[in-house]
């Protein structure tokens, strides 16, 4: 027969736990069902404590939610109550956060959907994660128009330490990686969208920085006319990221022998296009107009992909023969390339953010020799990187 000492000896391990209760309150909040299960079985606290080999004081603290039990104690309680640990302890559902779904009219999203979450000014903004490998900060649980309720996947306090860059240039992903190394506690989000959409997002306060490469043939100028139209009345600075050559990406070694824009009208040539509002789409449409070609007569003109990389992937995988994109991306995918225009890619940032350390460091990075060398290695011209083009009031 077991002695009383045998019954209570395991308690030796647990008095310290009740003393550590305050420290353990930093753990995720638990929903504790021990009391309900015990009462359903008609057990007193003393009876359950003896069955589980713990002190009654420890059990009282666990049932009251003041103490998070160790794995061993949780298993003993589950065995004593003839159930699983999950029946006794569950993580409380995190409160949902209300956020603005940026460019909400563009997205047809299932629920749940993965999103980036960041605070821009006073607004908590949700951006759909468009890369399967991208890290998400939240899951959409409810949607009403362009307002969403999001389950956070990170500590909500970290969402205030965010920088959101929008634009189609893949170099923004490289800059985001550099900034994360400089600011370990900063959450940097790159949103790969076209130039007009990026400026629209900046005008609505959904991003901190917008990238653009929009040529205005009437003004004979890059970016500034469109910036003035979309951000009228808001003081902004326009700073050059780099120059690149925009043109037509072609299948490796150009098997269809595409030599000019005129060749896009051939029946054996299949095009893939960018979305309206992107700089690449604008350049293609301008080139087609100059060549006297009807876009509706081109095979694949209506097939739109959201970004340089998707266009390059479609061509590299044989799904199209040609598509508008920038030389650095064509180069990265091993494509042949037909140049059309050298463009200036600029970053637009509100003047009031210029002294914010992450923004200041972003432009210091652009002026640094290592980043310029990295840009040049990827096919960009970096002589103007970090140069202030204009301040627009």
Task: Kindly give the pairing relationship between strand 236-250 and strand 388-392.
Answer: antiparallel
How many CA atoms are closer than 13 Å to the CA of 6, on its beta-carbon side? 3
The answer to whether 70 and 17 have CB atoms below 8 angstroms apart is: yes
Indicate the pTM of the whole model.
0.76
Cβ neighbours, 10 Å, residue 224: 18
The answer to whether 89 and 111 have CB atoms below 8 angstroms apart is: no
Tokens found for residue 5: 């000492």
Q: Which residues contact 392 (CB under 8 A, 6 or more apart)?
A: 224, 227, 228, 231, 235, 236, 237, 238
The answer to whether 239 and 386 have CB atoms below 8 angstroms apart is: yes
What is d(CA 143, CA 295) in angstroms, rounded to the nearest whole number? 37
Alpha helices in 42-170 (DSSP H): 45-52, 56-63, 71-80, 85-88
Residue by residue, DSSP assigns 308-338 as HHHHHHHHHTTS-SEEEEEHHHHHHTT-EEE
pLDDT of 28 reads 54
Q: Which residues is 274 bridged to in the sheet?
A: 305
| 54 CB burial (10 A radius; 0-12, 13-18, 19+) | buried
Q: Which residues contact 47 (CB under 8 A, 6 or more apart)?
A: none
Tell me the per-residue pLDDT of 290-345, one tens digit each, with 9 for 90 and over: 999 999 999 999 999 989 999 999 999 999 999 999 999 999 999 999 999 999 99
pLDDT of 133 reads 60
**Region class of 352: left (phi > 0), else alpha (psi between -120 and 50), else beta:** alpha
pLDDT of 2 reads 36
CA 301 vs. chain centroid, Å, equals: 29
| 182 CB burial (10 A radius; 0-12, 13-18, 19+) | middle
Cβ neighbours, 10 Å, residue 370: 9
Q: Which residues contact 315 (CB under 8 A, 6 or more apart)?
A: 249, 250, 251, 272, 321, 322, 323, 333, 335
What is d(CA 97, CA 151) in angstroms, rounded to the nearest whole number? 6
Q: Which residues contact 338 (CB under 8 A, 6 or more apart)?
A: 247, 248, 250, 258, 259, 260, 322
Q: Which residues is 304 bridged to in the sheet?
A: 273
What is d(CA 225, CA 183) in angstroms, rounded to the nearest whole number? 34
Tell me the per-residue pLDDT of 76-125, one tens digit each, with 9 for 90 and over: 999 999 999 999 998 877 789 999 999 988 888 899 999 999 999 999 99
What is d(CA 14, CA 62) in angstroms, rounded to the nearest whole number? 12
What is d(CA 386, CA 363) in angstroms, rounded to the nearest whole number? 6
pLDDT of 7 reads 34
Cβ neighbours, 10 Å, residue 385: 23
What is d(CA 162, CA 152) in angstroms, rounded to the nearest whole number? 15
Please list the rounded mean pLDDT of every run of 10 residues in the chain (393 residues). Answer: 33 36 48 94 95 94 91 95 94 87 88 94 93 82 94 91 94 92 89 94 96 92 94 94 96 96 96 94 94 95 94 96 96 96 96 94 92 95 95 89
């Amino acid at each position: 027969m077991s002695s009383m000492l045998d019954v209570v000896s395991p308690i030796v391990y647990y008095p310290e736990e009740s003393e550590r209760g305050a420290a353990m309150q930093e753990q995720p909040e638990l929903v504790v069902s021990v009391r309900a299960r015990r009462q359903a079985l008609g057990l007193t606290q003393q009876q359950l404590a003896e069955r589980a080999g713990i002190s009654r004081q420890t059990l009282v603290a666990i049932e009251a939610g003041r103490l998070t039990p160790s794995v061993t104690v949780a298993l003993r309680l589950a065995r004593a109550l003839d159930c699983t640990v999950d029946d006794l302890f569950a993580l409380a559902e995190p409160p949902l956060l209300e956020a603005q779904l940026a460019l909400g009219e563009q997205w047809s999203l299932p629920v749940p959907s993965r999103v980036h979450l960041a605070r821009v000014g006073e607004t908590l903004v949700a951006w759909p994660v468009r890369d399967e490998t991208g890290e998400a900060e939240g899951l959409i649980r409810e949607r009403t128009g362009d307002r969403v309720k999001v389950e956070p996947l990170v500590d909500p306090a970290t969402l205030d330490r965010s920088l959101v860059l929008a634009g189609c240039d893949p170099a923004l992903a490289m800059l985001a990686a550099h900034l994360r190394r400089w600011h370990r506690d900063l959450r940097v989000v790159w949103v790969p969208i076209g130039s007009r959409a990026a400026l629209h997002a900046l005008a609505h306060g959904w991003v901190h920085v917008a990238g653009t490469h929009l040529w205005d043939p009437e003004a004979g100028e890059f970016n500034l006319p469109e910036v003035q139209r979309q951000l009228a009345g808001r003081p902004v600075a326009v700073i050059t990221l780099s120059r690149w050559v925009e043109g037509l990406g072609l299948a490796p070694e150009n098997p269809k022998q595409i030599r000019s824009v005129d060749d896009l009208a051939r029946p054996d040539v299949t095009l893939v296009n960018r979305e309206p509002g992107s700089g690449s789409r604008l350049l293609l449409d301008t080139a087609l107009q100059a060549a006297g070609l009807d876009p509706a007569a081109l095979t694949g003109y209506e097939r739109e992909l959201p970004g340089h990389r998707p266009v390059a992937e479609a061509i590299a995988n044989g799904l199209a023969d040609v598509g508008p994109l920038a030389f650095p991306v064509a180069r990265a995918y091993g494509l042949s390339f037909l140049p059309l225009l050298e463009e200036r890619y600029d970053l637009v940032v509100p003047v009031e953010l210029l002294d914010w350390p992450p923004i200041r460091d972003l432009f210091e990075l652009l002026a640094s020799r290592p980043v310029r060398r990295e840009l040049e290695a990827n096919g960009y011209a970096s002589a103007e990187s970090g140069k202030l083009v204009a301040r627009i009031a």
